[in-house]
Structure 1
Amino acid sequence: MSSSRRRTASLAVVALPAAVWCGAASAETPAPPPAAAPATAPVLVSIDAGGGQARAGGTLDYTVRVRNESDRPIAAAEVYQMLPATLQAGSVGEGGRIDATQVTWTAELPPRREVTLTLTTKVGERTTGGDKLVTTACVRTDPGQPLAGCASSQVAWAPEDGGRGGAAPSRLPMMAGAAAAVAVAGGVFLLRGRRRRRRSDPVAESG
């Protein structure tokens, strides 16, 4: 065998282990972890009626404040205010939409900023035995997502006889009422979401 053929053969023998080693190394190198799904942006929600009292035939001016506590913008947050039977929506600001049981806003939430939404309502006849008129506001960071936060407003009914009110109610019923209102709001939004999914699902419609 000539010297040139010997050199070619030795190079081939050396090259084969190198290729195998490179392939083994790439197979053993762990793949990069998948990108984590973005967490739901934290938001803070509050609602108040400016310290007024509820009177049949009167009005209440509600202010809903939603603050984006994250460092990323939220392009189309959905904000809701529930309307109990005693409240009727009058004028709504910031492009809100009035439905039979709620008012809905679509709002852009800049990072670390607060957005204010307003609603004027007319108060109807008192229909329950409670001493508070309760309404709840909730927010979703994106349409179809779970509720990211809720808050309730409790407005005292004015004394019907025009005199001084009775004993101050305990804090426990007030807290229970707020918790119940938030729970009901979440159930209503969940039920509506399921109905929308059923309407868009041909299998559900055929069933």
Structure 2
Amino acid sequence: MSNLPALAVAAVVSMITMSVAVPAAPRTGVAPTPTVDAEQPLLSIAIDNGRTSAAAGDELTYKITIRNLGTTEAKGLEISQSLPAGLTFAAADNGGTADADRVVWPTDLKTGQEATFTTVARLGQTPDELLRLATVACATADGAEKPLVCATHSDLLPAGAVATRTEEKAVTPWMRYGAAAAALAVLALVTTVLLRRRRRRLLAARPEAGTGRHLARASVAD
């Protein structure tokens, strides 16, 4: 019984929160993802271009950072970055070479060593249905089929920006006010129920008190 006010408050907070929530854009940054196989190099990798959105005609500079977190040297690594549709390779440092869909660098990393690789690319026209421009950076051991570690970065494209604004507009002020009013109505209903129950308990206790006073008066009269 005593938990009802707390539940009511929780319901109000939940309803108001849902009424003002707006879908968030996918996260563009990435945290390092180290490997866990003791027989393989322990690496972390990240990629970023210092932006959160892009449009046709932009020149994008991506920086890949890779670090050897293990206790042994990582030899014969291949660092790669994907080139998604619409992104055209322009230049790369440290001897990076590009083919149709990626840029590649060969490297070795000593224990505790960190290396960076930079790509410059230009963004052309992208498919109308493409909302974000995503690129993936990976480190692969020599001769391996699967990468040891990967990271991603994505930028919001014009189509994605339009979609985000549409989602935000879908949550109108009237929807917020309506949800808040409904939440207050729930709180008022719960409060009314509690007051009525308390009143019934008080009324049920009054006859006993009245009987006691009557007996006391009768005793004095005698």
Given the two structures, how large is their TM-score scaled by the length of structure 1?
0.57
For 1:90, the equivalent position in structure 2 comes to: 90
For residue 79 of structure 1, report the CA deviation from its aligned partner. 0.7
Query: Which structure: larger Rg?
Result: 2
Tell me the SS of whatever aligns to 1:166. Answer: helix
Structure 1, unmatched stretches of 5+, are 1-36, 170-207
Q: CA deviation at 1:107?
A: 1.2
What SS is found at the alignment partner of 2:165?
A: coil
The 5 A counterparts of 1:17-166 are 39-144=39-144, 146-158=146-158, 166=165
Give the distance between the partners of 2:38 and 2:53, measured in 1 at CA: 42
Query: C-alpha deviations, 1:38-94, integer Å up to 9, x for none?
Result: 701111111111125211011111011111111111122101111112111101111
Kept after mapping to 2: 8 A contact 1:44/1:66 = yes
Over 3 Å counting, the alpha-carbon distance change for 1:57 and 1:70 in structure 2 is: same
State how many pairs are aligned.
132
Answer whether contact 2:128 2:159 (CA < 8 A) is retained: no
> Following the alignment from structure 2 to structure 1, what is the Cα–Cα distance between the partners of residues 139 and 166?
35
Identity across the alignment (%): 26
C-alpha spacing 1:147/1:117, structure 2 compared with 1 (3 Å) = same
- Per-residue deviation, residues 7-30 of structure 1 (Å, max 9, x unmatched): xxxxxxxxxxxxxxxxxxxxxxxx
- Using the TM superposition, give the Cα deviation of residue 147 of structure 1 relative to its aligned residue in structure 2, in angstroms: 1.1
Contact 1:77 1:143 in 2 (8 A): no
The residue type equivalent to 1:143 in the other structure is G
The C-alpha deviation readout for 1:128-151, integer Å capped at 9, x for no partner, is: 523211011111132335310111
C-alpha distance in structure 2 between counterparts of 1:143 and 1:121, whole Å = 28
Once the two structures are TM-superposed, the CA of residue 115 in structure 1 deviates from its matched residue by 0.8
